[in-house]
Amino acid sequence: MAAEQGHTVQYTPAYHSRLQPIELVWAYVKGIVGRAYSVDTTFADVRLRLNAAFDSLPSDVVYKCIMNSVNEVKRLDTYIKASEAADECDGAIDDSESDQEVSADDCDLSDYGLNLDHDA
């Protein structure tokens, strides 16, 4: 149905709460409800507090939860690309049959936020 309308559906990985903005929002709401808990709290009280917490949920909190997940995806993407680039460098250095001369100094990973100090 989405494809028929020209949309691409993107799925986030299951069981990775840092990549699920709704999980971060849910944690925020649970924190509000949990702080109001007392020994006299009933299930009805919890339900009312949940509704109130969702009704008063600030839009900037939702935005921050989304951006937190987006930034985490970007961080993971950078890590994966740097790891793949390092693997390619290792393969080129280790491949004695390669026509291409590559040294560890030629493998610049600074684009990925990594600085490999070969003297360390």
pLDDT > 90 fraction of the chain, expressed in percent and rounded: 55
What CA–CA distance (Å, rounded) separates 105 from 117?
A: 9
Measure the CA–CA gap between 108 and 37, rounded to whole angstroms: 54
Cα separation of 119 and 51, whole Å?
Answer: 58
Q: Residue length, the chain?
A: 120
Split at pLDDT 50, 70, 90, the class of 38 is very high
- Which among 18, 31, 20 is positioned nearest to 57, based on CA atoms? 31
When comparing pLDDT for 38 and 99, which is higher? 38
DSSP label at residue 99: S
Concatenating the DSSP letter of every residue in 30-43 gives HHHHHHT--TT--H
Residues 67-104: tens digit of each pLDDT: 999 999 999 999 999 998 888 776 655 555 555 554 44
Indicate whether 113 pLDDT > 70: no
